[in-house]
Structure 1
């Protein structure tokens, strides 16, 4: 069984706008974001909440991403480690 998600090239409306914003800021649509598209009725509020948490972080976005990268290595999450490494390397 597979979860049906909305591919970036298939996205319309609010999901397309959300994907475009993530593409602009991260250079890609993260798979974690795309997973939320299995529930298009809640993807926008969930992403909004995550952005409120991240954008209001007292140490700034770079440090938030660095902490996320370090946490991903300790979980371990090879996907998140790879994505955040590419953010810092690129």
Structure 2
């Protein structure tokens, strides 16, 4: 017999905006930036009404060049898992 599962949307949004989730995302972003290597990599936090987000981007010429020629952030993405 299958049970019906109902998700509390507001509770799910609260979880996705929680300080614990924000801290985990920041930690993962920092690990990706560290794995990207030479250059300055910017880890930026942002929040939307439904969730917290983190992005990693280039912060100087050396990082932009590494990303443009070697796709450095894509190669460093694995460091952010787990």
Name the structure where strand makes up a greater proportion of residues.
Answer: 2
Name the structure where helix makes up a greater proportion of residues.
Answer: 1
TM-score in same-fold range (> 0.5):
no
Larger radius of gyration: 2
Q: So what's the TM-score if we normalise by structure 2?
A: 0.30
Bigger relative contact order, structure 1 or 2 (CA pairs below 8 A, ≥6 apart): 2
Q: So what's the TM-score if we normalise by structure 1?
A: 0.28
